[in-house]
Amino acid sequence: MTLLEGKVSNSPNSIYFKTLDQNRGLQFELLFFRRLDDEFNKVLRFYKKKVEEVMMEADELSKQMNALIALRITVDNPVVGGSDMVNLSDHHISSNSSSVAHPIHGRTPMDVIQEVEMNNEGIAGEEMKKADDRDFRRAPLNVLDHVKINVELETPISILRSVIQSSKLDSSFGRQELRTAEEKISQAFVEFHRKLRLLKSYCFLNQLAFSKIMKKYDKVTMRNASKTYMQMVDKSYLGSSVEVTKLLEKVEETYVKHFANGNHRKGLKTLRPQAKKERHRITFLYGFFSGCSIALIVAIIVNIHARNILKSQGRERYMVNIFPLYSVFGYIVLHMLTYAGNVYFWKRYRINFSFIFGFKQGTELGYREVLLSSGLSLLALAGVISHLDMEMDPRTNSFRTLTELIPLFLLIVVLSITFCPLHIIYRSSRFFLIRCAFHCVCAPLYKVTLPDFFLADQLTSQVQAIRCLEFYICYYGWGNFRERSNTCGESEVYNVLYIVVAIIPYWIRFLQCVRRLLEEKDTAHGLNGLKCLSTIVAVATRTIYQHQAEKTTTWLVLAAATSGIATMASLYWDIVRDWGLLNRNSTNPWLRDKLALPHKGVYYAAMVLNCVLRLAWMQQVLGIQTVPFLHKNALVAVVASLEIVRRGIWNFFRLENEHLNNVGKYRAFKSVPLPFYYDYNGDKSI
């Protein structure tokens, strides 16, 4: 029994140890409050800095709105001499002329002019009475004399025109410029409102955090210090500032007035989009499609085994002509399944993929919606099981035309759904994909964003699917599909295009790297472009060697050397650049300082697996037959599927690294280019 546990509590030793414990407790409490104050000061400084930034942005948005008001009046009603100016930073919003409160589309100039005249007559008296209580200035139309409209490089035509004219600014004011300016400022208001909401949430959550910390302190120490400390927090700038709240109200009022025609519900629906609700029918449908697909796979396996199709005489003809037609659907479905897995784990580990990709809130697809792609697998497998005829009709020496056209019908259905303009089957996501694909095709004539080069990277893993689409054209255009025969491999044009279509995705990535290098002046993009060039050379040499009638040692050495260089460069770029791993000085050995996953072994396993799958891809294209009992086309499909799986793994860690970089640099908002440029002989302020 120690002295502290003894019954004699008034002994000198007991009093000494009690005093010592009290002194230690006071030291720990002082250390606790010192650290708490340090954290509070960090939060306070950060909050003040962000409030100052949003106030400056509010001033800039006010200038943009004043120019938009003047432009609206100039285009729709040049008779009216001016309108009230918007000033988001002041205590009152002074834009009350309904001449600028018309909707963006669907109004004729005469409607606007009549509304302006009637409202100006009706509110003149009321404005005279309130002039003393309100602080506003008139926005003269001559503000347009000092304003130019920024012409963004958003289309190939505008880019070529800007290169020829060597200018990005346009001083003309027409209806097209008005529509473009309205769209950009409306988007800027939406992003600014989102920033204000997040800043307000930041303020509230930190106050709540300090409150909980002090309540825990009171519970442990049996004291009542939380009330005094929270009074200090409430009196601080964090708890007493109302700038953000007032600015939120002004932004909402201005947006409703100028972009929603005064419809409060419509305006707030745009500014405050609701989170997408999960629907039970989506879960039911993807479960139903998945179950049916598994049943069809089992039925195909049983059918092949029962009819001994693998030893049938028509097996070779089927694998050469029909298998590539259906394998393209397998590649698409597998890629969608890997993307669904990515979405699931991104959400689980709080990786803000919707912000990184630039999806509008409420339109991003969850993993359940992505898994609806199993409906395509259901159709494709149904086509396969109805297309397992191995023998020709002996009377006609041909197969049934309707059966042979099933893959073409499926392809037409997929393309029709993809480009369907109706508001069905996730139109916003389909059009987002089409827009990014168009940007990739037109590279480098578009500014490269993350969705664009991310999609281009996906295309590099779908080379075999693109080659299958080329085979569709050759088979149904120049082949004899009724007899399951084609001469595609004997055509020099087909063989050249076979190389070209494989190079196109890497060439797109090369052009995107060149565009980013010219814009951002970052040598890393140049190195990435060189990596893409090395892959182009490797793909070309491998394909030439693969299609040689007699394999020569020279081309074998060239293919092996170029493939080895491209593979090593790609491995380095995947792991070090895209994933941010293999950092020798990191707190996590050979990883990075911040990790989203709790288990470090996952990162090491991903690096090893990425290397293995890269090497497996290189071995297959060199023509090494590692599985003798598989047909050549089946082996190509297996290796292509492994590449898609590798790309799915790459996707997760690539976006994880991007998310952690955004968090480290406090990037949570999209930068929206503003349409107006103020120029007062070098002075950009009004």
Residues 159 and 304 occupy one common structural domain: no
Give the C-alpha separation, 421 to 435, whole Å: 13
Domain range for 70: 3-272
Residue at a domain's end among 272, 304, 335: 272
| Per-residue pLDDT at 453 | 96
Residues 246 and 304 occupy one common structural domain: no
Three-state DSSP class for residue 97: coil
Residues 205 and 304 occupy one common structural domain: no
Contact criterion met (CB below 8 Å) for 509 and 532: yes
Q: Per-residue pLDDT averaged across 165-171, rounded?
A: 51
| Per-residue pLDDT at 276 | 73
Residue at a domain's end among 520, 537, 558: 558
Torsion of CA 455, 456, 460, 461, to 10 degrees: -10
Establish if 185 belongs to a structural domain.
yes
Residues 348 and 418 occupy one common structural domain: yes
**Least confident span in 176-180, 233-237, 407-411, 681-685:** 681-685
Q: What angle do CA 165, 166, 168 make, to 5 degrees?
A: 95
| Per-residue pLDDT at 146 | 73
Backbone angles phi, psi at 380, to 5 degrees: -65, -45
Q: What is the pLDDT of residues 481-504, one digit of tens each?
A: 999 999 898 889 999 999 999 999
- Written as six digits, the tokens of 87 are 């000033």
Q: Could you tell me which residue, 71 or 427, shows the higher pLDDT?
A: 427
Give the C-alpha separation, 286 to 293, whole Å: 10
Give the C-alpha separation, 87 to 261, whole Å: 19
> Which amino acid is located at 491 in the chain?
S
Residues 311 and 417 occupy one common structural domain: yes
Contact criterion met (CB below 8 Å) for 651 and 335: no
Q: What is the pLDDT of residues 353-403, one digit of tens each?
A: 999 998 987 888 999 999 999 999 999 999 999 999 888 888 888 888 999
Residues 245 and 316 occupy one common structural domain: no
**Least confident span in 64-78, 164-178, 182-196, 633-647:** 164-178
CA-nearest of 282, 289, 470, 301 to 379 is 289
Residues 255 and 298 occupy one common structural domain: no
Backbone angles phi, psi at 143, to 5 degrees: -65, -25
Q: What angle do CA 129, 130, 136 make, to 5 degrees?
A: 135
Task: State the total domains in the chain.
Answer: 2
pLDDT at 518 > cutoff 80: yes
Residues 266 and 312 occupy one common structural domain: no
Read off the pTM: 0.84
Residues 221 and 302 occupy one common structural domain: no
Q: What is the pLDDT of residues 527-547, one digit of tens each?
A: 999 999 999 999 999 888 888
Establish if 646 belongs to a structural domain.
no
Q: What confidence tier does 25 reach under pLDDT thresholds 50, 70, 90?
A: low
pLDDT at 93 > cutoff 60: no
| Per-residue pLDDT at 275 | 72
Give the C-alpha separation, 279 to 276, whole Å: 9
Give the C-alpha separation, 521 to 525, whole Å: 8
Q: Please enumerate in sequence order all residues whose Cβ is within 8 A of that of 136, keeping only pairs 6 or more positions apart, or say none.
A: 84, 85, 87, 92, 94
Q: What angle do CA 161, 358, 377 make, to 5 degrees?
A: 105
Q: What confidence tier does 642 reach under pLDDT thresholds 50, 70, 90?
A: very high
Distances, alpha carbon 55 to alpha carbons 52, 129, 243, 250, 252, in Å: 5, 30, 8, 12, 15
Q: Is the dihedral of CA 367, 453, 582, 530 positive or negative?
A: positive
pLDDT at 572 > cutoff 90: yes
Give the C-alpha separation, 116 to 80, whole Å: 8
| Per-residue pLDDT at 390 | 87
Residues 234 and 378 occupy one common structural domain: no
Establish if 654 belongs to a structural domain.
no
| Per-residue pLDDT at 50 | 93
Establish if 374 belongs to a structural domain.
yes
Residue in this structure with the two tokens 């860690």, named with its chain if needed: 653
Contact criterion met (CB below 8 Å) for 407 and 377: no
Establish if 678 belongs to a structural domain.
no
Q: Per-residue pLDDT averaged across 149-174, rounded?
A: 62
Give the C-alpha separation, 66 to 72, whole Å: 10
Establish if 662 belongs to a structural domain.
no
Distances, alpha carbon 276 to alpha carbons 71, 192, 279, 337, 363, in Å: 37, 21, 9, 21, 7
Residues 78 and 184 occupy one common structural domain: yes
Residue at a domain's end among 532, 558, 584: 558
- Written as six digits, the tokens of 654 are 């690539």
Establish if 563 belongs to a structural domain.
no
Mean pLDDT, the chain, as a whole number?
A: 83
Give the C-alpha separation, 327 to 321, whole Å: 11
| Per-residue pLDDT at 328 | 96
Establish if 601 belongs to a structural domain.
no
Residues 296 and 262 occupy one common structural domain: no
Q: What is the pLDDT of residues 222-246, one digit of tens each?
A: 888 889 999 999 999 999 989 999 9
Give the C-alpha separation, 364 to 369, whole Å: 9
Three-state DSSP class for residue 595: coil
pLDDT at 197 > cutoff 90: yes
Residue in this structure with the two tokens 């992003």, named with its chain if needed: 191
